[in-house]
């Protein structure tokens, strides 16, 4: 755990040599600059060495010393030893915070791309640990003693999960789509509805991916309505695929229409393969606005691709499920060699899929299933013993996020922060904690949603809110 940022303010030096003095000796007109080595031995500085490395802390100390030399030369400005230490520590904190930090998600978005999408289950992490800290038979066939197939169990498990003939794994869903288009549709045509030429997240645009892969985009239909006939009329001998893309991050409402996977697959009569970019990786039924992967396969899609770190609740990876013939072709492509994940990802993903198949839920699904009542109880537990009138519990809608069920809100509960300070300032203060707490603002009031709060973070949240009330 990182040392707290605020505790170091006003610390005393270990040697006491510089206490409260400026860096100047009586008969000198130059500041007495402490040595780098001496500063590195200060506990408030040395504690950063295991976190960001000795060379980096040394570099920071040198930079800060250079700055005080410079400001002495320019305007004879001097600082105390405590101030110097404080500056060094702040610079260390700033570096350290560039690496991903564990945070507490009170945003009301369960799968939040800025917060690393889905946390994986502890059991998954533990199970993969041994395989990753030793040599493994990643590409060794233990029966023959010869080189074997990478990826075989992950593929088999995903096939089972999706009810598909075959499956494979690449680094993310964008890579999955790029691989499919590059291998199966280069210099050929891909038919896409105008209502599905979408941008998903930063830098992922369907027309751009198509262009980059060398496939030619054939747009059909209109923004709000596309019919089976629109697709059929566009089919030629140059058509490689029909692509259907899930609108993960927005909803079309009003006078709209599009064929389902089943209707489109039936209309195409197997003349052209149908590829579905399902996105979210949802495997369970009954999620509003979402079709489980299995259903697309059953309804006749030849290939379906999705992210593993959204509703599947696993690591960052892209999964492709579909016909054996097509998956084999993709696996044999040199591009697969470029996009394939390492053993760490494969072992983690395998474990997640095993857990799914056995009915064990990953943390994101547990959060999705947390009832309003449970959230309320959690909120009462957080607020226990906190001063009256500073916080209250209120209903607050939350979303699944992460490219699933756009526009679908579910009931949730949040803590309302009633302190007399600007909301932005409160959020900033909460972000500066260790671990940072990430909240939201609704109508100028800070909300801390409880839908994705982990039980283990309840004491930290309570202590932080107590400190915040006294701020
Ligand atoms: C999220 C999403 C993607 C991008 O997936 P990554 O795993 O982030 O590469 C592509 N298509 C759809 C429909 C998505 O929802």
Give the span between the Cα atoms of 64 and 70, in whole angstroms: 10
| Whether residues 58 and 161 fall in one domain | no
210 Cα to the center of ligand 1, angstroms: 14
Q: Give the domain range for residue 132.
A: 120-136+149-359
Atom of ligand 1 nearest to the CA of 318: 7
Which pairs from 38-44 meet CB under 8 Å and 24+ separation?
39/65, 39/84, 39/85, 39/88, 41/14, 42/13, 42/14, 42/85, 43/14, 44/3, 44/8, 44/11, 44/85, 44/89
| Whether residues 209 and 328 fall in one domain | yes
Residue 132 lies in a domain: yes
How many domains does one find in the chain? Answer: 3
Mutate to test the pocket of ligand 1, among 109, 196, 403 (most ligand atoms within 8 A of CB): 403
> Of 311, 327, 359, which one is at a domain's C-terminal end?
359
| Whether residues 330 and 193 fall in one domain | yes
Residue 141 lies in a domain: no
Q: How far apart are the first and last CA of the chain?
A: 24
Closest residue to atom 14 of ligand 1, CA basis: 279
pLDDT at 30: 64
pLDDT at 77: 81
Is there an atom of ligand 1 within 6 Å of 174 CB?
yes
| Whether residues 418 and 294 fall in one domain | no
> The domain spanning residue 190 has which CATH number?
3.40.640.10
Closest residue to atom 12 of ligand 1, CA basis: 279
Is there an atom of ligand 1 within 6 Å of 405 CB?
no
| Whether residues 263 and 161 fall in one domain | yes
| Whether residues 158 and 215 fall in one domain | yes
| Whether residues 263 and 207 fall in one domain | yes
Is there an atom of ligand 1 within 6 Å of 318 CB?
yes
| Whether residues 214 and 339 fall in one domain | yes
Is there an atom of ligand 1 within 6 Å of 276 CB?
no
65 Cα to the center of ligand 1, angstroms: 47
402 DSSP assignment? S
> The domain spanning residue 463 has which CATH number?
3.90.1150.180
Atom of ligand 1 nearest to the CA of 249: 15
Extract the tokens encoding 205: 């645009």
Is there an atom of ligand 1 within 6 Å of 291 CB?
no
Residue 1 lies in a domain: no
- Walk along the chain (471 residues) and give the pLDDT tens digit of each residue: 444 333 333 334 444 444 444 455 444 566 678 899 999 999 999 999 999 999 999 999 999 999 988 988 888 888 899 999 999 999 999 999 899 999 999 999 999 999 999 999 999 999 999 889 999 888 888 899 999 877 679 999 999 999 999 999 999 999 999 999 999 999 999 999 999 999 987 788 999 999 999 999 999 999 999 999 999 999 999 999 999 999 887 788 889 999 999 999 999 999 999 999 999 998 888 787 789 999 999 999 999 999 999 999 999 999 999 999 999 999 999 999 999 999 999 999 999 999 999 999 999 999 999 999 999 999 999 999 999 999 999 999 999 887 666 677 889 999 999 999 999 999 999 999 999 999 999 999 999 999 999 999 999 999 999 999 998
pLDDT at 4: 36
> Of 359, 378, 410, which one is at a domain's C-terminal end?
359
| Whether residues 238 and 129 fall in one domain | yes
Is there an atom of ligand 1 within 6 Å of 190 CB?
no
Residue 424 lies in a domain: yes
Q: Give how far Cα 69 sits from Cα of 33, 63, 74, 92, 274, Å.
A: 8, 10, 9, 19, 67
Closest residue to atom 6 of ligand 1, CA basis: 173
pLDDT at 18: 43
Check: CB of residue 328 under 8 Å from CB of residue 133.
no
Closest residue to atom 13 of ligand 1, CA basis: 279
Q: Give how far Cα 274 sits from Cα of 181, 197, 240, 284, 322, Å.
A: 12, 16, 9, 22, 10
pLDDT at 278: 95
Residue 342 lies in a domain: yes
| Whether residues 191 and 249 fall in one domain | yes
pLDDT at 403: 64
159 Cα to the center of ligand 1, angstroms: 20
Extract the tokens encoding 68: 């005080």
Closest residue to atom 15 of ligand 1, CA basis: 279
| Whether residues 210 and 308 fall in one domain | yes
Check: CB of residue 169 under 8 Å from CB of residue 319.
yes
306 Cα to the center of ligand 1, angstroms: 7
DSSP 207-263: HHHHHHHTPEEEEES-SSB--HHHHHHH--TTEEEEEEE---S----SS-B---HHH
Atom of ligand 1 nearest to the CA of 404: 15
Residue 407 lies in a domain: yes
pLDDT at 252: 84
Check: CB of residue 188 under 8 Å from CB of residue 332.
no
Is there an atom of ligand 1 within 6 Å of 308 CB?
no
Closest residue to atom 2 of ligand 1, CA basis: 279
| Whether residues 278 and 189 fall in one domain | yes
Atom of ligand 1 nearest to the CA of 307: 7
Closest residue to atom 11 of ligand 1, CA basis: 279
Residue 288 lies in a domain: yes
> Of 322, 339, 359, which one is at a domain's C-terminal end?
359
Closest CA to 373 of 359, 390, 391, 393: 393
Is there an atom of ligand 1 within 6 Å of 403 CB?
yes
Extract the tokens encoding 238: 């140059």
CA angle 361, 102, 317 (to 5 degrees): 50
């Amino acid at each position: 755990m990182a040392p707290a940022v605020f505790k170091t303010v006003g610390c005393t030096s270990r040697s006491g040599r510089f206490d409260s003095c400026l860096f100047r000796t009586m008969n000198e007109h130059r500041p007495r600059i402490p040595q780098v080595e001496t500063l590195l031995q200060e506990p408030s500085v040395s504690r950063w060495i295991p976190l960001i490395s000795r060379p980096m802390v040394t570099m920071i100390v040198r930079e800060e010393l250079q700055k005080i030399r410079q400001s002495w030369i320019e305007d004879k400005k001097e600082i105390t030893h405590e101030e110097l230490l404080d500056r060094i520590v702040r610079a260390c904190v700033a570096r350290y915070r560039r690496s991903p930090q564990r945070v507490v998600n009170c945003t009301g978005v369960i799968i939040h791309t800025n917060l690393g999408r889905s946390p994986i289950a502890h059991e998954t992490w533990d199970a993969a640990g041994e395989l990753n800290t030793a040599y493994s038979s990643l590409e060794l066939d233990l029966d023959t003693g010869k080189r074997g197939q990478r990826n075989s169990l992950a593929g088999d498990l995903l096939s089972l999960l999706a009810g598909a003939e075959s499956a494979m794994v690449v680094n993310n869903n964008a890579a999955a789509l790029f691989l499919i288009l590059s291998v199966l549709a280069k210099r050929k045509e891909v038919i896409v509805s105008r209502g599905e030429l979408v941008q998903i997240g930063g830098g992922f645009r369907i027309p751009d991916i198509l262009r980059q892969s060398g496939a030619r985009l054939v747009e059909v239909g209109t923004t709000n309505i596309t019919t089976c006939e629109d697709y059929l009329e566009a089919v030629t001998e140059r058509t490689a695929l029909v692509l259907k893309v899930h609108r993960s991050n927005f909803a079309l409402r009003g006078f709209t229409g599009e064929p389902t996977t089943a209707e489109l697959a039936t209309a195409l009569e197997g003349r052209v393969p149908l590829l579905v970019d399902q996105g979210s990786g949802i495997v369970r039924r009954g999620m509003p606005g979402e079709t489980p992967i299995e259903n697309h396969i059953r309804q006749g899609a030849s290939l379906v691709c999705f992210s593993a770190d959204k509703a599947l609740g696993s690591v960052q990876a892209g999964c492709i499920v579909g016909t054996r013939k097509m998956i084999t072709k993709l696996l044999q492509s040199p591009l697969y060699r470029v996009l394939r994940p390492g053993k760490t990802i494969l072992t983690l993903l395998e474990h997640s899929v095993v857990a799914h198949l056995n009915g064990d839920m990953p943390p994101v699904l547990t959060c999705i299933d947390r009832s309003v009542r449970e959230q309320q109880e959690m909120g009462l537990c957080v607020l226990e013993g906190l001063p009256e009138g500073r916080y209250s519990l209120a209903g607050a809608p939350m979303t699944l996020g992460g490219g699933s069920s756009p526009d679908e809100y579910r009931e949730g509960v949040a803590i309302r922060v009633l302190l007399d300070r600007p909301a932005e300032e409160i959020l900033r203060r909460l972000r500066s904690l260790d671990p940072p707490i990430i909240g939201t603002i609704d109508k100028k009031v800070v909300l801390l949603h409880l839908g994705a709060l982990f039980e283990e973070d309840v004491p930290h949240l309570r202590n932080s809110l107590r400190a915040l009330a006294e701020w």
